[in-house]
Amino acid sequence: MRYVSTRGDAPVLGFEAVTLAGLASDGGLYLPDAWPTMTRDEIAELAGLSYVDTAVAVMMPFVGDAMTREELKALCEQAYGRFAHAAVTPLVQLDHDQWLLELFHGPTLAFKDVALQLLGLLFERFLTGSTKHVTIVGATSGDTGSAAIDALAGRAGIDVFMLHPSGRISEVQRRQMTTVLSPNIHNIAIDGSFDQAQALVKAMFNDRAFAGRFTLSAVNSINWARLMAQVVYFFYAAVRLGAPEREIAFSVPTGNFGDVFAGYVAAKMGLPVARLIVATNVNDILHRALSTGDYSQKGVTHTPTPSMDIQVSSNFERLLFDLGGRDGKAQAAQMAGFESSGAMRLSNAQSKGASALFASDRVDFDDMALAMRWAHEHAGQVIDPHTAIALAAARRAPGDVPMVTLATAHPAKFGDAVERAIGLRPPLPARLGDLFEREERLATLPATFEAVTGYIAERATATA
Ligand SMILES: *Cc1c(COP(=O)(O)O)cnc(C)c1O
């Protein structure tokens, strides 16, 4: 399997290199040069397989010759053995044709664990026995940071520097990061906003001397291997509800377009997906793009669904590239226009291609709260606010096929918002019970390039 950049000007890479690189050197995102496909019979054979065996069957074509089947299976067993549910991603029925796909049974209670637990092991596998060393630098508003830290703690060849805005994430989220005391984990609280933290990280990647000296890498959803790991649960859920005989629809609470793009990949591989609903909160750039062709950036409104409070959706570029005829030059020009003006129009081919599979919806605060109450009163399910955005969209979408809403966070992670909507506070699962007693370690730094790079340079491993 070979991987190409959406901007057409970066080296073609294999799976191992694409995993370690994250972003392409031309600023684009990597994609397989062609989609592998599964026949109807091959999809039917997934029925009855465990999550791990499904994962191996779905991911093996993307891994190519970077690992054997046995090696991939061993990594999947290790990654998904840490989940608290034997089904890894269980389905829960809400009514006759509405279902929840619970993706939050991993160590940090967010769906990001599904991909990051595997990614951490892939990094270690590709770095062990080599002299290579990578420095992961990231900014987080909560969920990504805790999932990445849990996945990478103690792994050989990797240092992690995670920036978060001081005092602006929940105590559960902070403690999930700062109580991990492995020597390769470095939490940095910056005196500033999430946007400032993200801008600092971007500046470090753009500083070629600094980025090269410490072999900086990223684990946000621009990393191809993360998307690949997320394709699995679309197959896993769909075959349990009757695929390939029946078509299945999915509603996905969307921020950076990573999760729902994995659904698109599943459809490209041959899974009979009737529809993918891109559910946004009031930060609705994707809903506007998909319903009117206008992809234009606006200011961020803070909501009870912080993982969807985005200005732009980085993975959308992957869809535009695939639908626009895979023309790297044209994609680079479209993105350059967007980067200079903050707005762009989808081409006719892009709009038409998207509307064949995607629908979109924008869900406001009141409808989100109503969906939380409906799930509780009519199906006995306590759901988190992100999941509620997608459930609201799922319930008002037309259609007569089974509809699966992706449940992306455990409700206890957003206890305040849940309590406000349904009058009940979900308890933290027992395995996190002593989180509030554990020792914390973090550094607090001013939000300046000098302070943060100085701190990292003293602690990271430089390339020989
Ligand atoms: C990250 C996240 C999302 C958004 O996923 P994308 O892949 O960025 O679209 C939705 N819900 C929760 C709880 C998340 O952590």
% of the chain at pLDDT higher than 90 = 82
* Distance of CA 407 from the midpoint of ligand 1 (Å): 10
Pocket of ligand 1 (CB under 6 A): 110, 112, 143, 221, 253-259, 307-308, 386, 408-409
Encode pLDDT of 163-218 as tens digits.
999 988 888 889 999 999 999 999 999 999 888 898 899 899 888 899 889 988 88
pLDDT(464) > 70 = no
pLDDT(74) > 90 = yes
Q: For 209, what's the count of Cα atoms within 13 Å in the CB-facing half-sphere? A: 2
CA-based radius of gyration for the chain: 21
pLDDT(221) > 80 = no
| Reported confidence tier of residue 344, pLDDT bands at 50, 70, 90 | very high
Q: How far apart are CA 327 and CA 325, in angstroms?
A: 6
User: Per-domain residue ranges for the chain?
Assistant: 85-110+224-422, 133-214+434-464
For residue 208, the model assigns a pLDDT of: 86
Specify the residue for token string 């998904």. Answer: 80
> What DSSP string describes 141-188?
SSHHHHHHHHHHTT-TTEEEEEEEETT-S-HHHHHHHHT---TTEEEE
Mutate to test the pocket of ligand 1, among 29, 103, 111 (most ligand atoms within 8 A of CB): 111
% of the chain at pLDDT higher than 70 = 100
340-348 long-range contacts (CB < 8 A, ≥24 apart) are 342/296, 342/297, 343/294, 343/295, 343/296, 343/297, 344/295, 344/296, 345/293, 345/294, 345/295, 346/289, 346/293, 346/295, 346/320
pLDDT(463) > 80 = no
pLDDT(220) > 90 = no
Mutate to test the pocket of ligand 1, among 408, 413, 418 (most ligand atoms within 8 A of CB): 408
Mean per-residue pLDDT, 96-125 = 96
Mean per-residue pLDDT, 402-422 = 95
pLDDT(142) > 80 = no
- CATH number for the region 133-214+434-464 comes to 3.40.50.1100
* Distance of CA 209 from the midpoint of ligand 1 (Å): 32
Q: How far apart are CA 366 and CA 364, in angstroms?
A: 6
Q: Which atom of ligand 1 is nearest to the CA of 310?
A: 8
Mean per-residue pLDDT, 136-162 = 92
Asked whether this chain's domains 85-110+224-422 and 133-214+434-464 adopt the same fold, the reply is yes
> Catalytic residue at 112?
yes
Q: Which atom of ligand 1 is nearest to the CA of 112?
A: 15
The DSSP call for residue 110 is B
Mean per-residue pLDDT, 102-122 = 96
Rounded (10°) CA dihedral 28, 34, 40, 46? -60
Q: Which of 256, 265, 168, 180 is nearest to 218 (CA)?
A: 256
Mean per-residue pLDDT, 239-253 = 98
Specify the residue for token string 């065996």. Answer: 53
* Distance of CA 195 from the midpoint of ligand 1 (Å): 17
Please name the helix (run of DSSP H) or strand (run of DSSP E) that holds residue 358, with its range, or none. Answer: strand 358-362
User: Which two tokens mark 324?
Assistant: 């626009």
Q: Which of 275, 259, 294 is nearest to 406 (CA)?
A: 259
* Distance of CA 111 from the midpoint of ligand 1 (Å): 7
pLDDT(318) > 70 = yes
Encode pLDDT of 252-288 as tens digits.
999 999 999 999 999 999 999 999 999 999 999 999 9
> What DSSP string describes 292-318?
HSEEE--PPPP-S-GGG--SS-TTHHH
Q: Which residues of 124-150 are buried (b: 16+ CB within 10 A; e: fewer)?
A: bbbbeeeeebbbbbbbbbbbbbbbbbb
**pTM confidence score:** 0.95
Encode pLDDT of 387-397 as tens digits.
999 999 999 99
* 213: region left, alpha or beta (phi > 0 left; psi from -120 to 50 alpha): alpha
Taking CA atoms only, the protein residue closest to ligand 1 atom 3 is 307
For residue 399, the model assigns a pLDDT of: 86
Mean per-residue pLDDT, 31-55 = 98
Taking CA atoms only, the protein residue closest to ligand 1 atom 8 is 256
Q: Which of 176, 185, 106 is nearest to 146 (CA)?
A: 176
Which segments of 18-156 are extended strands (E)?
30-32, 91-93, 98-102, 134-139
Please name the helix (run of DSSP H) or strand (run of DSSP E) that holds residue 62, with its range, or none. Answer: helix 51-63
pLDDT(425) > 90 = yes
Mean per-residue pLDDT, 57-72 = 97
- CA distances in angstroms from 368 to 281, 282, 387, 388, 417, listed in the order given: 9, 11, 9, 5, 10
* Distance of CA 220 from the midpoint of ligand 1 (Å): 11
Q: Which CATH fold topology does 85-110+224-422 show?
A: Rossmann fold (3.40.50)
Is-contact 285 298, C-beta < 8 A? yes
Q: How far apart are CA 331 and CA 317, in angstroms?
A: 8
Encode pLDDT of 345-383 as tens digits.
999 999 999 999 999 999 999 999 999 999 999 999 999
| Reported confidence tier of residue 11, pLDDT bands at 50, 70, 90 | very high
pLDDT(403) > 90 = yes
User: Which two tokens mark 228?
Assistant: 């690949």
